[in-house]
Amino acid sequence: MSDPAARKPRRWPLSLDRIGLPASAPGERTMTTADAQTLRPQRPLSDALREANRQRAAPVPQSDLQAFRQNMVLRLRQAGCQDERVLAAMNVVPRHLFVDSALVAQAYEDTSLPIGLGQTISKPSVVARMIELLRHRPGGADLARVLEIGTGCGYQAAVLAHVAGRVVTIERLRGLHDRALRQLAPLQLPGIELVYGDGRLGHGPAAPYDGIIAAAGGHDLPAAWLDQLARGGRLVAPVHDPALRSQVLMVVDKLGDGSIVQRIHEAVRFVPLESGTSDFGHS
């Protein structure tokens, strides 16, 4: 039997020639081409619900869920993820516990799913890609302290908790913050702090952070994030690129001397980074 990995074209991480990035010197700002493959953490709610209705009749046995999760990790590996810590984390975090019970059968597909209040849980490949980028900062030391903007259902925070010493995660929608608290509690992960607030302001009390990761994209990178990034730290965030008229994944390093180096990676499509907080959905 031939090796499926050998048959499949390498999709991820995208090679520089596929995303139109010249290998640039540190500090140079590089652009993606308009035809760059777009990582879409979301997909239309209607798709997910149509699929859910198709599957609703059959509850999924635990053993199947574990096998689905292992398959998800295998696919991430075949697609090019080489970070064993990220793969190990994704192999243990039960993504199906973070989605609506009607969507459990789809929890390990490489797809985003609705989590309520118009928001979505990011695709597994996007979560893996962003955390791998976050970990591979210059100097390469383990992440002691990470700030996540956009807790959503809490899945990515749970994965982060397996690769970082302490995770502070902020959500601006009270309903989702409450839900993430409930969903994370049974996992008993040490070192996660959930904050209800406007992530554009970061979270001063636990700063500085070795890593900052955003699950929502704005037109700029808030100044607070750069202020709260430690020297030697890395920020990974979607941000709108006016030249491309789309969101791109931005990686920003704060070097030991405090200078900033930023690089643009592939095109992405995340939910918008909003300002302020909302009590909507508070239970």
Q: Give residues in contact with ligand SAH (CB under 6 A).
A: 115, 119-122, 149-150, 152-153, 155-156, 170-173, 176, 198-200, 215-216, 271, 273-274
Cβ–Cβ under 8 Å, residues 90 and 124 = yes
Entry field: residues in the chain = 283
Closest to 99 (Cα-Cα) out of 39, 155, 174, 54: 155
CB atoms within 10 A of CB 258: 7
From the list 247, 245, 234, the residue with the least C-alpha distance to 273 is 247
Residues 6 or more apart from 118 whose CB is under 8 A from it? Answer: 271
Does the annotation count 122 as an active-site position?
Answer: yes
Which residues on neighbouring strands pair with residue 262, listed in sequence order? Answer: 252
Least CB distance to ligand SAH at residue 158 (A): 8
What minimum distance in Å lies between the beta carbon of 103 and ligand SAH? 13
Q: Which is nearer to ligand SAH, 21 or 166 (CB)?
A: 166
Least Å distance, CB 41 to ligand SAH, is: 7
Nearer to ligand SAH, 14 or 159 (CB): 159
Q: Phi and psi (nearest 5°) for 143?
A: -85, 115
Catalytic residue selected from 63, 112, 122, 259:
122
Q: Are the CB atoms for 135 and 165 separated by under 8 Å?
A: no
Q: How far is the CB of 239 from ligand SAH (least distance, A)?
A: 13
Cα gap 57→120, rounded to integer Å: 24
Taking the complex as a whole, how short is the minimal distance between the CB of residue 123 and ligand SAH, in angstroms?
Answer: 10
Q: Which has the closest alpha carbon to 273: 230, 228, 213, 206?
A: 213
H or E element at residue 17 = helix 16-19
Q: CB of 120: closest distance to ligand SAH in angstroms?
A: 6
Q: Which is nearer to ligand SAH, 226 or 261 (CB)?
A: 226
14 vs 90, beta carbon nearer ligand SAH? 90
Q: How far apart are CA 17 and CA 63, in angstroms?
A: 40
- By beta-carbon proximity to ligand SAH, the closer residue of 105 and 115 is 115
Backbone angles phi, psi at 186, to 5 degrees: -65, -20
CB closer to ligand SAH out of 105 and 273: 273
Give the catalytic positions in this structure.
Answer: 122
